[in-house]
Amino acid sequence: DIQLTQSPSFLSGSVGDRVTITCRASQGISSRLAWYQQKPGKAPSLLIYSVPPLQSEAPSRFSGSGSGTEFTLTISSLQPEDFATYYCQQHNSYPLTFGGGTKVEI
């Protein structure tokens, strides 16, 4: 199985901060990595994925990059509605796997 390691697991930030979350895969997955946002009491929502090409369903302040085994999600300017938990997910092969999550708090 492909293991995904997310870092950091917890991130404290302020409105306006630029933050970066990293996701490392245990083996190459080309560009087939997605990012989800989950807020308390809500289901996850798909932010960014690469089919390819890189696709985004998120506001423009969210961006994703990477290929192979190392990927990043960047929020260029944290907004109040961005405080949530973020998960990466590889969609290269079954079994599909997720990273452990990064909780972004104020």
Partner 1 sequence: QVQLVESGGGVVQPGTSLRLSCAASGFTFSTSVMHWVRRTPGKGLQWVAVISEDGDEKHYADSVRGRFTISRDNSKKMLYFETNSLRPEDTALYYCARDRCFGCRLFDLWGQGTLVTVSS
Give 1's Cβ-side CA count (13 Å radius): 9
CA distance 28 to 80: 34
* Minimum distance from residue 16 beta carbon to partner 1 (Å): 28
Does 96 contact partner 1 by CB under 8 A?
A: yes
CA distance 72 to 23: 6
Q: What are phi and psi of 81, to 5 degrees?
A: -80, -5
Does 47 contact partner 1 by CB under 8 A?
A: no
- 91 contact partners, CB below 8 Å, separation of at least 6: 32, 33, 34, 49
Does 91 contact partner 1 by CB under 8 A?
A: yes
Contact status, residue 21 vs residue 73, Cβ threshold 8 Å: yes
Does 62 contact partner 1 by CB under 8 A?
A: no
* Minimum distance from residue 80 beta carbon to partner 1 (Å): 23
Q: Given the rule CB under 8 A, which of 15-23, 39-47, 60-68, 70-78 is the region that contacts partner 1? A: 39-47
Of the two residues 13 and 101, which places its CB atom closer to partner 1 in the complex?
101
Interface residue with partner 1, options 43, 60, 81, 106 (CB under 8 A):
43
Question: Could you list the residues that contact partner 1 (CB under 8 A)?
Answer: 1, 32, 34, 36, 42-46, 49, 51, 57, 87, 89, 91-92, 94-101
